[in-house]
Amino acid sequence: AVTDGIPAASEGKIQAALKLEHIDGVNLTVPVKAPSRKDILEGVKKTLSHFRVVATGSGCALVQLQPLTVFSSQLQVHMVLQLCPVLGDHMYSARVGTVLGQRFLLPAENKPQRQVLQPTCLLLSEGWRERSWMKPSSDAST
């Protein structure tokens, strides 16, 4: 995975209890801090992944991940919880906030809403680059 940020540790393991939760019409994997026996019976699973930072540069890192358990979105959640968000992961990295330069995890209920663009809006931005009025004129005077 390519991360947004450089993890503090160069290798190690990530352990977390996770569960699926239905929030705003979407199934999200959320961490459970101290799962009880009842939680385990109700679908909370203890998960484990190993990681190793392969390379770093320009505020990013290439991280090798090896899940030792299997749970939906386990690797993305492990990255957000204990390392750095995965670059381009809009589902879970949107829950990472920053206060005074320190990252923290927002509660799943406070996750920012998805932004959906109409296909015409995406095509419109392509057309703007091609328009001559967007390019600097060679005879422009200031």
For CA atoms 62, 108, 25, 118, give the dihedral sign. Answer: negative
Count Cα neighbours of 51 within 13 Å in the Cβ-side half-sphere. 29
pLDDT confidence of residue 52: 95
Model pTM above 0.85: no
What local confidence, expressed as pLDDT, does residue 132 receive? 46
Residue 89: alpha-carbon gap to chain centroid: 4
pLDDT tens-digit readout, 79-134: 888 778 888 877 776 555 544 445 555 555 555 555 555 555 555 445 444 544 44
Residue 69 banded pLDDT, cuts 50, 70, 90: very high
Q: Which two tokens stand for residue 29?
A: 């994997």
The Cα 30–Cα 18 span in angstroms is 6
Tens digits of residue pLDDT in 12-65: 999 999 998 887 787 888 888 888 888 888 889 999 999 999 999 888 899 999
Q: What is the mean pLDDT of residues 59-83?
A: 89
More confident call, 138 vs 53: 53
Residue 142 has which token pair? 């200031």
pLDDT at 90: 72
CA distances from 13 to 10, 59, 78, 86, 105 (A): 10, 22, 10, 17, 19
Tokens representing 110 are 């406070």
